[in-house]
């Protein structure tokens, strides 16, 4: 029996205009965007549809914009085909869409939680991040050791077997990257971010978020969520309450998340949200898996048609 997972993208997948064709053509999508505008007290839909790009790229806008768009796409997809995933997961902020899809949070609470998370993370300055491509494991570890002599450096994201993102003090990230590039890494790409996400720089933001989450209504998940901090199945509400703040300053174990679902029999992944970032990563992690992605009406129609044939035999 084929098993299916819904996966949701994180920061970096945004683009001006995202969600507009769905908003214009599906009542449920319009309802999601209108609810976001009401709950957040500002027009997140206008930022999604019109930008400008400089505003959309600000963390405080990016996070609610991507979550709103992804959930709108999810709800349109659910109306288009009757399919229930066996697992859900999301990359960094995408985990909030996964929790929504699993019934952990209501729509309103999802928007409030991601807005608070974005505000706290945007207030934390300092540090830098860099993507490392095709670095052998021993080179990665040696680079982190070299970098740590210049300051704090750690792995922010295990994105695929051939891509990790490092995070930490600017000098330490540069020293680690320089070493890796000189010793076999194919590329080192500094990332245009406002701070060192998924690092100890974010510990204070995580602690403040824990205070917020302590009063947030959370339910047990109806579908197992494979969580970023440990790549393990999570369903109990108190476990989410603990992991949500930790995720802000912990590594994103995306490679391990996909591998965990594959071990549990998942062979079909449907990326729901703007862009194709996760579909690309998944092909590097699990080349034999079927991967679909939905980000606009055309990709929705194509995926629905393919899913009906492949999974439902229609």
Tell me: domain 128-190, CATH 3.30.70.250, correct? yes
Q: Please give the average per-residue pLDDT across 265-283, as a whole number.
A: 95
Write out the residue limits of the CATH 3.30.70.250 domain(s) in the chain: 128-190
SS3 category, 185: coil
Residues 21-79: tens digit of each pLDDT: 999 999 999 999 999 999 999 999 999 999 999 999 999 999 999 999 999 999 999 99
Considering the domain delimited by 3-123+200-310, tell me its CATH architecture: 3-Layer(aba) Sandwich (3.40)
Please tell me the predicted confidence (pLDDT) of residue 309. Answer: 85
Other C-beta atoms lying within 10 Å of the C-beta of residue 226? 27
Taking the C-alpha atoms of residue 117 and residue 310, their distance in angstroms, rounded to an integer, is 38
The pLDDT of residue 148 is above 70: yes
Please tell me the predicted confidence (pLDDT) of residue 2. Answer: 80
Other C-beta atoms lying within 10 Å of the C-beta of residue 211? 10
CB 143 within 8 A of CB 181: no
Q: What is the mean pLDDT of the chain?
A: 96
Please tell me the predicted confidence (pLDDT) of residue 1. Answer: 63
SS3 category, 190: strand
- CB-facing half-sphere around the CA of 25: CA atoms within 13 A: 14
Taking the C-alpha atoms of residue 97 and residue 7, their distance in angstroms, rounded to an integer, is 9
Residues marked active site are found at: 92, 198
The pLDDT of residue 179 is above 80: yes
Write out the residue limits of the CATH 3.40.366.10 domain(s) in the chain: 3-123+200-310
Buried b (16+ CB within 10 A) or exposed e, 276-289: ebbbebbeebbeeb
Please tell me the predicted confidence (pLDDT) of residue 48. Answer: 98
CB 123 within 8 A of CB 96: no
Residues 87-125: tens digit of each pLDDT: 999 999 999 999 999 999 999 999 999 999 999 999 988
């Amino acid at each position: 029996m084929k098993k299916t997972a819904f996966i949701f993208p994180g920061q970096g997948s945004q683009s001006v205009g995202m969600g507009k064709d769905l908003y214009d053509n599906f009542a449920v999508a319009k309802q999601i965007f209108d609810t976001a505008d009401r709950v957040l007290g500002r027009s997140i839909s206008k930022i999604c549809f019109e930008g400008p790009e400089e505003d959309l790229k600000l963390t405080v806008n990016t996070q609610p914009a991507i979550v709103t768009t992804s959930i709108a796409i999810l709800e349109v997809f659910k109306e288009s085909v009757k399919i229930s995933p066996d697992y859900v997961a999301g990359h960094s902020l995408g985990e909030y869409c996964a929790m929504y899809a699993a019934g952990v949070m209501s729509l309103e609470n999802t928007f409030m939680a991601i807005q608070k998370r974005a505000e706290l993370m945007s207030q934390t300055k300092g540090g830098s991040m860099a993507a490392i491509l095709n670095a052998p494991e021993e080179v990665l570890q040696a680079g982190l050791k070299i970098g740590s002599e210049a300051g704090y450096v750690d792995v922010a994201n295990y994105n695929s077997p051939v891509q990790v993102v490092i995070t930490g003090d600017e000098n330490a990230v540069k020293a680690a990257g320089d070493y890796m590039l000189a010793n076999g890494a194919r590329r080192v790409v500094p990332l245009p971010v406002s701070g060192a996400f998924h690092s100890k720089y974010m510990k204070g933001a995580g602690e403040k978020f824990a205070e917020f989450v302590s009063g947030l209504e959370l339910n047990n998940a109806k579908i197992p969520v494979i969580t970023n901090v440990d790549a393990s199945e999570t369903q109990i509400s108190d476990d989410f309450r603990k992991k949500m703040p930790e995720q802000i300053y912990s590594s994103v174990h995306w490679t391990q998340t996909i591998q965990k679902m594959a071990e549990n029999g998942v062979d079909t992944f449907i990326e729901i949200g703007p862009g194709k970032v996760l579909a690309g990563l998944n092909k590097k992690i699990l080349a034999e898996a079927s991967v679909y992605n939905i980000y606009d009406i055309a990709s929705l129609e194509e995926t629905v048609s393919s899913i009906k044939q492949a999974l439902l035999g229609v």
